Amino acid sequence: MVCTIQNGMHKMTLIAVYGLHTILDRKCLWRGLLGYMQNHDPMIIIGDYNAICNSNDGANGTLVTDDETEDFEDFLLQSSLIEAMSAGLLYSWSNSSVGSERVVSIIDKAFVNHAWVRMYAGVVVQYLAPGISDQSPLLFTLQDDSQQGGRPLKFMNIMYDHVDFLDTMEKAWSSVKSRYRLQSVWLKLKVIKIELKMMEIHKFGKPHDKVEYLRQKLCDLQNQVDFNKNGEAQSNAKVLSDELRHWSYIEENILQQKARINWLKQGDAN
């Protein structure tokens, strides 16, 4: 299914995919999707491909052969699509069996084109709980970055210390495949920029506001009349104190970096 979504000046193409069950039957899917690659609108292709990209996309069951992944891999190479960042459950399908008989795989994915990467700061595809189905619903959300006039990325040194930093960068770098090396490097850097912006927003966004909020909440809690006799309030205060120290450290680190940048620009006039 193909539909065009337009909101004011913004226009995007959404392609919902359902792949047939055999390698031969899916060949027309890959040909049909390649036919839409001339569309220069931001495009997201999302759905059930009934196929996996590589052997790491499944667990248990029969061994995955090259014949099963070849057409999917060729399609991604020819289209230069980029897999969208995902969150939530790891696998999107299971055979609903229990224990050692359970087979799982990722046959549901979302990909975006170059125009999408240029227009939007990112897209996150959430793999939700399947409920009574054998497949997870996919929910995607996006952030429009176009209104900010291409705001440049400001890398914060403290981001490197985050526990997920290296893993996130490695996944972003390896998510892009292109037959042209220079194009591949450019696309990889674009995806890394998106991931860094998402990390900045979700992991380090507005530290000053968070420090003020936590400080006030902790103060209100400690000012309770029965605070010294209320074990639950004391436990909550300890949690708030740990959070306050965490965000205070982030805020201080960012301010130190800004101060160094100002000194490099202005020298002794800073």
The pLDDT value given to residue 245:
92
97 plus 225 within the same structural domain:
no
Between 167 and 86, whose confidence is greater?
A: 167
Mean pLDDT of 177-195: 75
Phi and psi for 153 in degrees, rounded to 5? -75, 130
158 plus 138 within the same structural domain:
no
Can you give the residue range of the structural domain that contains 223? 207-269
43 plus 140 within the same structural domain:
yes
129 plus 6 within the same structural domain:
yes
Domain boundary among 101, 128, 148: 148
Between 127 and 267, whose confidence is greater?
A: 127
Separation between Cα atoms, residue 219 and residue 18, nearest integer Å? 54
Which long-range CB contacts under 8 A does 252-258 form with residues at least 24 apart? Answer: 253/156, 253/157, 253/158, 254/156, 254/158, 254/204, 254/207, 257/156, 257/157, 257/158
Mean pLDDT of 237-245: 90
Helices marked H in 80-227: 114-119, 165-174, 181-204, 207-222
The pLDDT value given to residue 147:
45
177 plus 227 within the same structural domain:
no
Sheet of 93-94, strand order: 58-59, 104-105, 93-94
7 plus 138 within the same structural domain:
yes
- Percent residues over pLDDT 70 in the chain: 91
Mean pLDDT of 249-260: 88
34 plus 130 within the same structural domain:
yes
Instruction: Return left, alpha or beta for 171; rule: phi > 0 is left, psi -120 to 50 is alpha, else beta.
Output: alpha
222 plus 258 within the same structural domain:
yes
Q: Could you give the count of Cα atoms lying within 13 Å of 96 in the half-sphere of its Cβ?
A: 7
225 plus 125 within the same structural domain:
no
Separation between Cα atoms, residue 140 and residue 107, nearest integer Å? 16
The pLDDT value given to residue 146:
45
92 plus 139 within the same structural domain:
yes
Q: Which of 164, 190, 162, 163 is nearest to 176 (CA)?
A: 190
173 plus 135 within the same structural domain:
no
16 plus 132 within the same structural domain:
yes
CATH number, position 98: 3.60.10.10
Distance from the first to the final alpha carbon of the chain: 58
- Looking at the structure of the chain, the number of domains it has is 3
Give the tokens for residue 28: 């027309």
The pLDDT tens digits for 117-170 are 777 756 778 888 888 888 888 888 765 444 444 456 678 888 888 888 888 888
